[in-house]
Amino acid sequence: MTHNPDTPRTTESGFPVKPVYGPGDLACWDPEERLGEPGGYPFTRGVYPTMYTGRPWTMRQYAGFGTAAESNARYRQLIAHGSHGLSVAFDLPTQMGYDSDAPLARGEVGKVGVAIDSLDDMRVLFRDIPLDRVSTSMTINAPAALLLLLYQLVGEEQGVSARQLTGTIQNDVLKEYIARGTYIFPPGPTLRLTADIFRYCRSEIPRWNTISISGYHMAEAGASPAQEIAFTLSNGIAYVRTALAAGMAVDELAPRLSFFFVSRTTLLEEVAKFRAARRIWARVMREEFGAKDPKSQMLRFHTQTAGVQLTAQQPEVNLVRVTVQALAAVLGGTQSLHTNSYDEAIALPTDKAARLALRTQQVLAQETDVTAIVDPFAGSYAVESLTDAMEASAVELMNRVEDLGGAVAAIEHGFQKGEIERNAYRIAQETDSGERVVVGVNRYRLDEEEPYQPLRVDPAIEARQQQRLAELRDRRDGRAVRSALDALREAASGTANVLPPMKEALRARATVGEVCGALREVWGSYEPTETL
């Protein structure tokens, strides 16, 4: 949102903002068609009739760093402080399918998340955490199948049936090609693996959410709110088409889909974004895919406050930003929420910062009245007008994606990436010129920043993790590992579901890097398309 008083105000998506809205802004507007009732089509007002009046949203805190033991300690601490669910961050080598001793992993082990190389690490990560009573979200994409299977194996060791496991794997690789970059395989094999996960979970882990289709990372890369929901929903359409082509029925697949969005400080536009996204998805699922089950038409989503808007300058101001962003997510009807810690622009969150982030959600849920009313902005001339504008802009972008042949073809043309990069450049220009105010950065600066002691990851972690890998390879049955990896290659070369042989390879103590390496041999690696 621009703030210069000499220029007209616009939203992040570029819509003009009027000082006053009235009935004329909703001309020819049918409340029944556009709004409906909470919990009913088109779900503009929320996916459940009672929303937070019965119970608040799920409070998740995204965490993971260093070794599995260190992350396990943080998880148990968050649970003790009242977190309802876990959200696991993995380090970059794990996300890219490399072991901690791979040359490409050097300097990155345990830095932006926890290092997981094998079943041994996964067992330590969830030690003393009962998997039948905790819902776990895992931010993992290209190797999502591996981490899910490792989680299932740990559950089996705890005596927990796979049918009791609840949680989500992000498993949204299409957005990696667009914005984030932690892809491994080309789009074709990637979508085949996604379909295999859908089928596997349908029969083996039926309560698991098999994908969290993400706009968050596109927003972090510079996407506007309209671009965020347009490209996210287009990816969602691609995943549904893939599953249907693999023989699944829409009403058995769609209820397990979930989404992941950012929440910025532009509160009113964010509320409108969430409401527009629900309405678009409900219409697509009913009209394009013929979904009959209302649960198939619901857009259920997790929200994370906007890390890209946090500043290293005057980091305590981020507490205010995160509170406003969290409020926007709640007023927009999120199903679960992660609040960023105020020091994340500097380093990994300290224990105190992580606790304050969770307390922010608890204050909103327990000390305010936002949980007393379902969709309190319904009927607001301003919000309904912004919702309509957001919907129209997003649908226009989605149509452009379809004109290129769908999400995958548009990715191969570099369309989404190019659109996001142009918007990111616009934001940078506005910030540099001062047209876009960032408190503490280009206005209200301090001559000297107060000292701050960030959390640092011990660099010796990499050597210790490499030693664990060496010991693992010494004590495991190497012949069994080779045989299991051969079976995985054979499945990947044909049409069989790759998850059962993948699970057996992991059970035999094959590492994440070895399993991904076996698939690379068959499927190859993705080379991105450069945009102009």
In 3-state terms, what secondary structure has residue 12? coil
Q: Answer whether 349's CB lies under 8 Å from 455's CB.
A: yes
In 3-state terms, what secondary structure has residue 121? helix
Of 457, 524, 463, nearest in space to 493 by CA? 524
DSSP codes joined into one string, 271-288: HHHHHHHHHHHHHIIIII
Of 365, 293, 295, 283, nearest in space to 331 by CA? 365
Place of tokens 């993400």: 214
CA dist 233 and 401 (Å) reads: 11
DSSP codes joined into one string, 367-426: HSSTTSSSSTTTT-HHHHHHHHHHHHHHHHHHHHHHHTTSHHHHHHHTHHHHHHHHHHHH
Which structure tokens are listed for 139? 């931010």
Tens digit of pLDDT at every position of the chain (532 positions): 445 555 678 999 999 999 999 999 987 778 878 899 999 999 999 999 999 999 999 888 777 778 899 899 988 888 888 776 788 989 999 999 999 999 999 999 998 899 999 999 999 999 999 899 888 989 999 999 999 999 999 999 999 999 999 999 999 999 999 998 999 999 999 999 999 999 999 999 999 999 999 999 999 999 999 999 999 999 999 999 999 999 999 999 999 899 999 999 999 999 999 999 999 999 999 999 999 999 999 999 999 999 999 999 999 999 999 999 999 999 999 999 999 999 989 887 888 998 999 999 999 999 999 999 999 999 999 999 999 999 999 999 999 999 999 999 999 999 999 999 999 999 999 999 999 999 999 999 998 887 777 767 788 889 999 999 999 999 999 999 999 999 999 999 999 999 999 999 999 999 999 999 999 999 999 987 665 4
Q: Is 208 exposed, middle or buried (CB count within 10 Å of its CB: 0-12, 13-18, 19+)? A: buried
Which structure tokens are listed for 74? 């943080």
Of 220, 180, 421, 178, nearest in space to 304 by CA? 220
H helices within 211-343, ranges in order? 216-220, 225-245, 250-253, 267-283, 294-297, 318-331
Residue 368: how many CB atoms within 10 A of its CB? 11
**35: Cβ–Cβ under 8 A, 6 or more apart, which residues?**
44, 45, 378, 379, 384
Which structure tokens are listed for 4? 């210069």
230-240 tens-digit pLDDT:
999 999 999 99
In 3-state terms, what secondary structure has residue 78? helix
Q: Which CATH number among 3.40.50.300, 3.30.720.200, 3.40.220.10, 3.20.20.240 corresponds to the domain 23-413?
A: 3.20.20.240
H helices within 141-224, ranges in order? 144-158, 174-175, 187-204, 216-220
**457: Cβ–Cβ under 8 A, 6 or more apart, which residues?**
65, 66, 110, 111, 348
The Cα-based distances of 469 to 512, 513, 532 in angstroms read: 11, 11, 42
Q: What's the CA angle centered on 397, arms 396 and 400, to 5 degrees?
A: 90
33-83 tens-digit pLDDT:
889 999 999 999 999 999 999 999 988 877 777 889 989 998 888 888 877
- Cut 0.95: pTM above it: no
CA dist 114 and 121 (Å) reads: 9
Burial call 325-337: b when 16+ CB within 10 Å, e when fewer: bbbbbbbbbbbbb
Name the residue type at position 331. Answer: L
